[in-house]
Amino acid sequence: MKKIIFAVLVILTACGGKANNNPDANAALADTIPPAPAPLVFAEMQNRDQCFIVISKPECYLSVYEDQQGDTVLLARYPVCVGKNLGQKEKTGDMKTPECDYENPFSISQIQPASTWVHDFADGRGPILAYGNWFMRLSTPGFKGIGIHGSTNNEESVPGRGSEGCVRLLNDDLDELKEQYAFVGMKVVIEADR
């Protein structure tokens, strides 16, 4: 509490305000500052086969959950970049990430090494490394080529909206997701834009 009061006094003085010599008044002022949010506590995984992924397009997060004895617990959360355009994917090239619901989830159909894969973003750089170490191909009925991958040469885009439809993670996060949680057949829910 003393550190907070001191910080408030420093800010007041720096902004031309006067510090109050009354400790009770300073404490009251410090009490109006909202506390920092508690850090998010993640559970420990018990059974990898019970894990599933939820991707929030509006919040640009990928979360890994596990069903533990009838309770759904959060294991990990990563920032992501999703499709540049809002809404449900309608056709190839529309720059939208496909959406699904909890009753009809997508799934990981393949986990492929992708460290040598290149892509041409049509930005003048030509074909460049673009996918990180892995491409987690998703089974998305009606659409091909949608996956979860890294962000080689595009890490500044995460989190955000800028992909052509895939879900892009930071390369280190992708490696962790693959090593600790992901498996072929894993359910993936991509929540709709609001």
DSSP 64-129: EEEEETTEEEEEEEEEEEEESS-S---STTS-------SSS-EEEEEEEE-TT-EEE-SSSS-EEE
Whether 39 maps to a domain, the answer reads no
When the pLDDT of each residue in the chain is averaged and rounded to a whole number, the result is 84
Domain count, the chain: 2
Q: The tokens 């892995």 sit on which residue? A: 134
Question: Helices marked H in 133-193 — which ranges?
Answer: 171-180
If asked whether residues 78 and 170 sit together in one domain, one would say yes
Instruction: Provide the pLDDT for residue 154.
Output: 87
Question: Which pTM does this prediction carry?
Answer: 0.78
If asked whether residues 61 and 17 sit together in one domain, one would say no
* C-alpha R_g of the chain: 22
If asked whether residues 13 and 72 sit together in one domain, one would say no
If asked whether residues 92 and 168 sit together in one domain, one would say yes
Residue 19 has pLDDT above 70, yes or no: no
Contact in structure between 128 and 153 (CB atoms under 8 Å) = yes
If asked whether residues 102 and 12 sit together in one domain, one would say no
If asked whether residues 100 and 179 sit together in one domain, one would say yes
If asked whether residues 19 and 87 sit together in one domain, one would say no
If asked whether residues 6 and 52 sit together in one domain, one would say no
Whether 38 maps to a domain, the answer reads no
Residue 5 has pLDDT above 50, yes or no: no
3-state secondary structure of 18: coil
- Cα–Cα dist 149/166, whole Å: 8
Range of the domain at 11: 2-31
If asked whether residues 117 and 75 sit together in one domain, one would say yes
Q: What number is the average pLDDT over the span 41-63? A: 94
